[in-house]
Structure 1
């Protein structure tokens, strides 16, 4: 049985943004692994809008600043707004996978940059498509069509549900911060902390949630490989 890596993530998650270099190296060092990305929808549709969007953006910008102190990742000089929804970017990232892994990686990075470099989150279809314009090899009309397709929407809905059915290992983590990876207990459900990686293979399943050193990911991969 080959090694399978499942990555629970979101284009708008600052911890996932900070983990990109580690995960990129991990993928390069595990070329035979089957890697599956699950989009957890950090900002869901139907949530009540903030009564003061400017104050919300200022608060979230400080949160991003704090995360960046730990990860060393770039942060925007000014956050214009907090993403209203993770759905458009997640649909685009999932749709981009139909055009190949290399293109999908570039698309996801571009979408993350809208928040964490430019400070203008791609939280609707037109902002998403503007963000990915010029990605080498990307067929933008095909991406738009795939984003609107029943197949891609169902795939992201399945991701939403999978992220809200976390494995027992993450429910009661007591490891210290800054981001232990303990499952998030929200109003109506529990979901994986983002990002979380699971490694499954002949040696069993091993979970590395939250913000962890690179060595823990490689150790989990080795253990799962058996």
Structure 2
């Protein structure tokens, strides 16, 4: 079954954080899922704030960065996602990048999606998390269609803080089925204890539709998400992934990792003209127009 705007809408709520390696590694699946659902899905992103601003600073920031660098590499054993050759520091707080990503939504879903991608890449490709106004400016410079000055103003405005605070609260009201979840795999998605609260594990997707609500937490294969979407939509037929040629995918997404090239396109060779960006764990391929403006 392919995308059809006449079929029932499914609302997809994604709980995430720009600095979460599991969320970064899930991007190939989420991109293909969004492409497959098309106009039938309304996708909403909730920023759960993995690193809160009231946490005590690390006594040894470099040691903490090395620890998180090791954690990222452990995660990529399962996700095969790229990681930066060196994580220069652990993000000081998730709030700046989350506020920027939330503020970008005022400029349209396509721009917001590209801004969030650049914010993820600041950590996992360049190893320099966008956690200051200067870092955000550098990370999003040249995003097609983005009014950069407006984004920076909107990010600093109280409305962005209020919006992320609402996300923070929503993420800390997890559904009962994930509170004591025991499941197979490296990241089954049990709710996390943090700061006296329980919050959704990252990433978690909630599907709502005529068929009910389905919660898919943690690291899961594409088939699990497709089945959840089908169930929430109240459909009896299976969903068939909607793949596209590499050149079309690169035009759409502006950058592709190796796992994305494989899953979204069923190809291992990047399209002609794609610009290779080497990381510590395989290449990322950029659209030539993106490469001329994105961070080197």
What's the TM-score, normalizing by structure 2?
0.75
Q: CA RMSD in A?
A: 0.9
Q: Which runs of 5+ in 1 are unaligned?
A: none
Name which of 120, 124, 133 aligns with 2:141.
133
Q: In the alignment, what sits opposite 2:215? A: 207
2:184 paired with 1:155: no
> Which one of 112, 115, 125 corresponds to residue 117 of structure 1?
125
Whole-angstrom distance in 2 between the partners of 1:185 and 1:15: 17
Unmatched 5+ stretches in structure 2? 1-7, 235-296
C-alpha deviation, 1:128, in angstroms:
0.8
Distance 1:95 1:33 in 2: 22
Please report how far the alpha carbon of residue 187 of structure 1 lies from its aligned counterpart in structure 2 after TM superposition.
3.6
Tell me the residue number matched to 1:4: 11
TM-score normalised over the length of structure 1: 0.98
2:22 match: 15
SS of residue paired to 2:26: helix
Counterparts of 1:152 and 1:221 in 2: how far apart (Å)?
A: 30
Determine the C-alpha separation between the residues in 2 that align with 1:33 and 1:162: 20
Corresponding residue for residue 41 of structure 1: 49
Larger radius of gyration: 2
Aligned residues: 226
Is 1:197 the equivalent of 2:210?
no
* Counterpart-to-counterpart distance in 1, 2:134 and 2:174: 32
In the TM superposition, 1:17-166 aligns within 5 A as: 17-31=24-38, 32-166=40-174
Distance 1:145 1:81 in 2: 26
Q: Structure 2 CA distance, aligned partners of 1:117 and 1:93?
A: 18
Q: Tell me, in whole angstroms, the C-alpha distance in 1 between the residues paired with 2:9 and 2:110.
A: 21
Aligned with 1:30: secondary structure? helix
Determine the structure 2 residue equivalent to 1:178: 186
2:45 and 2:79 mapped to 1: Cα distance? 21
Q: Give 3-state SS (helix, strand or coil) of 2:84's partner.
A: coil
Provide the C-alpha distance between the structure 2 equivalents of 1:50 and 1:60, rounded to a whole number of angstroms. Answer: 12
